[in-house]
Chains A and B, each alone.
Chain A
Amino acid sequence: MTTHPTPDGATDRSAAAIDVQDLHKSFGDNEVLKGIDFHVGHGQVVCVIGPSGSGKSTLLRCVNMLETPTSGRIFVEGDEITDRDADVDKLRSRIGMVFQQFNLFPHMTVLRNLTIAQQKVKGRKKDEAVEVARANLAKVGLAEKESAYPAHLSGGQSQRVAIARALSMSPDMMLFDEPTSALDPELVGDVLAVMKDLASEGMTMMVVTHEMGFAREVGDNLVFMDDGVIVEEGDPRHVLGDPQHERTQSFLSKVL
């Protein structure tokens, strides 16, 4: 039961937090994204599901230009990130990203992981950066780990630190690429709880996930991708409970 507001102009594309228009991406001859159109409203949580290899990660990575689209346009908060002259580094600093493999910096303490980009990218003073970092560590329940090194954290702790690291940049939105897929089952809950809190605070989120429970409970919108196209999208309860397309039905029958 989501409580955060859906903006009135959910269909007014200029007001969207993320707006993807006719996105194509090929690796050599392999066309991985075959014309993707969708948008995410402010404060919305969009979950993306689909079989492995369907292009979910590629889509997410295009949204912050870790992959360069072959064609199509992507707007983030109204700014075109695919524009040739866009300041991609600056735009990226407004988009938090959480990876399946955490990708914490192993040669830095947890606190340094959270402060380095604040200082080097945002130009925050050390004191301010540390303050922000501590607040975010507390938020993910790991205040006592600030001087630990990543090698000494469990998978669940690592992923929560990675979320806190992204949040420390005060991003406008967060992208999650299968954030719980590399975790032992008993550690998944902690990470999902942190993500649920974020959603209830009104963070705009795009989440690639296999956690159908999370998608049903927290998601405002569910996107089912297969073979580089969006096959079906809509209210998660409808898509999961009463899928319209045969491909969606067959995928869900395998994972549910």
Chain B
Amino acid sequence: MASPRQRAARLRYVQYAVLVLVLLAIALLADWDQLKRAFWDWEVVKAQFPDVITIALKNTIIYTACGFAFGLVLGLVLALMRLSSVGPYRWIATGVIELFRGLPALVVFIALSVGFNLAFPDRQIPFGNLGIVTLALGLVGGAYMAETIRAGIQAVPKGQMEAARSLGMSHSRAMISVVVPQAFRIILPPLTNELILLTKDSSLVYILGLALEDYELTKFGREGMNTAANLTPIIVIGLCYLLITVPLSIVVRRMESRAERAR
């Protein structure tokens, strides 16, 4: 009989062997020239610049930032309503949260853009497409963030509120100055994760029908792909997304390991 140690070592060798075989198979079976033509054509890559940065990446960041900012405010308001002692506030907040967490973001985009025009034919959402993106991303993100923020507020020790009240602060003053700032420190990692999700959801703006200067990364990549009959533009914009999201992920992981150590 092999000892558990020997068995574990054998298992590890098997895993390495499988990995090597798979890599070999890919290297031998793939038609590298064809792949390169389809996925990374240098001429097509060059043609993406500078617009992929100056228009597409810029717009993705703007849409995401506006949606996230609105979502953060909305999430905080919904969280405070959820914690309110006034019943109707709690019910309304719960309803809004469940509604927008339960719907696909795409549905929210459609409902907002088409629905608003149908409901108010002679009015416009302010700031045009940016207004719709901000509302739609903010509603979806805010519904998620509300629950995170609420959990954060509840994770702040009760003694903090009591100390603030014992100094004569009102409930809302204590919330603003003492509890909420501490809650946000606790929930910074999940909020950053939400920012990553919203970055990707901002691609849904394509549904609005955009002019070139409003293209964000996904729309820009799709148009480029159609023109070039080649997947290279998609690879380029994919790398642009990773340029935003990977650093954010690293920041989250840093914060989490620091919180782990502080415990």
The residues of A with any CB-CB pair to B shorter than 8 Å are: 64, 66, 89-90, 92-97, 99, 101, 103-107, 116-117, 120-122, 162, 165-166, 169
The reply to whether the CB of B124 lies closer than 8 angstroms to some CB of chain A is: no
Q: How far is the CA of A21 from the CA of B162 in the complex (A)?
A: 24
With A89-B170, A105-B163 known, 13 other A-B pairs at CB within 8 A are: A92-B168, A93-B168, A97-B166, A99-B159, A103-B163, A107-B181, A117-B168, A120-B177, A121-B167, A121-B169, A122-B168, A165-B167, A169-B168
Between A and B, 19 residue pairs with Cβ closer than 8 Å are A92-B165, A92-B168, A93-B168, A96-B166, A97-B166, A99-B163, A103-B162, A103-B163, A105-B163, A105-B178, A105-B182, A106-B182, A107-B181, A107-B182, A117-B169, A120-B169, A121-B168, A165-B167, A166-B167
Partner of A66, one of B160, B165, B169, B185: B165
The reply to whether the CB of B173 lies closer than 8 angstroms to some CB of chain A is: yes
Partner of B167, one of A93, A101, A106, A107: A93
**B166 and A92 contact, CB distance less than 8 A:** yes
Q: How far is the CA of A121 from the CA of B173 in the complex (A)?
A: 9
**B165 and A103 contact, CB distance less than 8 A:** no
Q: Which residue of B lies closest to A64 (CB)?
A: B166
Smallest beta-carbon distance A149→chain B, Å: 12
Smallest beta-carbon distance B184→chain A, Å: 9
Q: Which residue of B lies closest to A65 (CB)?
A: B165
* Chain B binding surface, main DSSP class: helix
**B160 and A103 contact, CB distance less than 8 A:** yes
Tell me the residues in window 125-178 of chain B with beta carbons closer than 8 Å to chain A beta carbons.
157, 159-160, 162-170, 173, 177-178
Q: How far is the CA of A107 from the CA of B162 in the complex (A)?
A: 16
The residues of B with any CB-CB pair to A shorter than 8 Å are: 157, 159-160, 162-170, 173, 177-178, 181-182, 185
Partner of A92, one of B160, B167, B178: B167
Residue numbers in B under 8 Å from A66 (CB-CB): 162, 165-166
With A116-B177, A120-B173, A120-B177 known as contacts, the answer to whether A103 contacts B168 (CB < 8 A) is no
Q: How far is the CA of A122 from the CA of B168 in the complex (A)?
A: 9
Q: How far is the CA of A162 from the CA of B162 in the complex (A)?
A: 13
Q: How far is the CA of A105 from the CA of B182 in the complex (A)?
A: 9
Q: How far is the CA of A206 from the CA of B178 in the complex (A)?
A: 26
Residue numbers in B under 8 Å from A106 (CB-CB): 182
Smallest beta-carbon distance B250→chain A, Å: 24
Residue numbers in B under 8 Å from A169 (CB-CB): 167-168
Q: How far is the CA of A120 from the CA of B178 in the complex (A)?
A: 12
With A99-B163, A103-B159, A116-B177 known as contacts, the answer to whether A89 contacts B182 (CB < 8 A) is no
Residue numbers in A under 8 Å from B182 (CB-CB): 105-107
Partner of A105, one of B160, B166, B168, B173: B160
Q: How far is the CA of A37 from the CA of B159 in the complex (A)?
A: 27
Residue numbers in A under 8 Å from B185 (CB-CB): 107
Smallest beta-carbon distance A53→chain B, Å: 19
Smallest beta-carbon distance A162→chain B, Å: 8
Smallest beta-carbon distance B169→chain A, Å: 6
Residue numbers in A under 8 Å from B170 (CB-CB): 89
B163, B167, B170, B173 — which one has the most chain A CB atoms within 10 A of its CB? B167
Residue numbers in B under 8 Å from A107 (CB-CB): 181-182, 185
Query: Which 4 residue pairs are nearest across A and B when measured between Cβ atoms?
Result: A93-B168, A103-B163, A117-B167, A97-B166
Residue numbers in B under 8 Å from A97 (CB-CB): 163, 166
Q: Which residue of B lies closest to A121 (CB)?
A: B168
**A89 and B169 contact, CB distance less than 8 A:** yes
Q: How far is the CA of A97 from the CA of B164 in the complex (A)?
A: 10
